[in-house]
Structure 1
């Protein structure tokens, strides 16, 4: 599922005339960068929730050949991140679901290695985990607020960030979860942090450090920063010598 229904208030005035996921970054809407990552990882079906300029979102998503898109309609009222995910999960039957934010993506992965999302899928261990999350060190973020979200403990578990604990990391906007976590989710709108904290308390939230450069676009100024990072990574990729040559 791709969480894409937010108002994008910090990106105004741009989002006064278009939904945030359709704001172009390096010539392509943000959400296409995200959906391309899912396709690369073998995801065939994705739920996308819509609210702000919902008709434009649906029209754009209908132009994509892959993945197959199912719309979770929030026109009548925003459900916040947790409520939106809970509603969208009703359109999926799989016991495990991959979730991404429409405005968080990355570039510059090592082409010789499996993709970040493929690694995340392989990393998830249903015996030990309820949720596995991609994380990134602050040094490899663009457009972020400069604060760590979690501490990554030596055994791979994540807890809320504390300076005296493991290495500080940022939530990279992608995770795999057992959909059963939402069987008793609150009704109506609620923040996804409610679920994160529950899984932390159970000791079953684990983190995987992603490769490449992570990008978030929350303000108009962040667009140029994101495009500069994309261009830099593309230039590096173009000058690298293929393995074995």
Structure 2
């Protein structure tokens, strides 16, 4: 199974830690976020892993070259231009597009989600993408109908909503930064450039199926801010 780790971000929320190194190499209990993510993917049966790089890219490349992680690693280099979450997938298409779904995982997300089972749940549907979501506090949420089909998005800060599919009742879920995507998604995406996968999902959901899986019972930690590092350290230990 294939997976992609989104590790190219600037890590601005983790400043000053990310002034001199990338977010992916920030350590928790002596292990980098990138290493934690790769080990978790390997444990769940993902043996081909793509890592995109931009901020302090060479540091990440050197880190990955220095040891054997037990998986096949591929670098998707965005050194010249940060392509956002959607553009990153298109840029890495040559590594991912082999007629099988692939998992995408933000490098700064730590969870106890059974990734292999989550992948299997996607395989049992005809959805173009399946998103791991939960009922927790978030500044932005996806909106799903009773069948867990994506129908919109809402900013919890401004109240702005985008409705892509009408439904009698919509339920808000926070996105975990973990999703499984079928390769047919490339038929819906721009051929190049910088864009958000969230925007793409909303557009796709107007005519095709994007599903959500409620994983509220699982623990999901967004290691995006310095104060979350201690919480992650306690969870991992």
TM-score band (shorter)?
Answer: 0.7 to 0.9
Q: Which runs of 5+ in 1 are unaligned?
A: 110-114, 139-144, 232-245
Q: Structure 2 length normalisation: TM-score? A: 0.83
**Distance in 2, Cα, partners of 1:86 & 1:47:** 12
Q: Structure 1 length normalisation: TM-score? A: 0.80
Please give the per-residue CA displacement for 1:62-104, whole angstroms capped at 9, x wherever unaligned: 2232221100111111111111111112223322221111111
Number of aligned residue pairs:
218
1:194 paired with 2:208, answer no
Q: How much is the aligned-residue C-alpha RMSD, in angstroms?
A: 2.2
**Distance in 1, Cα, partners of 2:10 & 2:68:** 23
Partner of 1:224: 230
* 8 Å CA contact retained: 1:4, 1:50: yes
What is the deviation of 1:188?
A: 1.3
3-state SS in 2 of match to 1:201: coil
**Distance in 2, Cα, partners of 1:229 & 1:166:** 32
1:171 paired with 2:163, answer no
Partner of 1:94: 98
3-state SS in 2 of match to 1:13: coil
3-state SS in 1 of match to 2:9: coil
**Distance in 2, Cα, partners of 1:200 & 1:212:** 26
Please give the per-residue CA displacement for 1:111-134, whole angstroms capped at 9, x wherever unaligned: xxxx2x112221114763111111
Runs of 4+ in 1 over 4 A off after TM superposition: 161-164
Q: For 1:159, which of 147, 151, 169 is the aligned residue?
A: 151
**Distance in 2, Cα, partners of 1:125 & 1:204:** 13
Structure 2 CA distance for partners of 1:65 and 1:229, relative to 1, 3 Å: closer
Partner of 1:149: 141
Q: For 2:73, which of 57, 69, 73 is the aligned residue?
A: 69
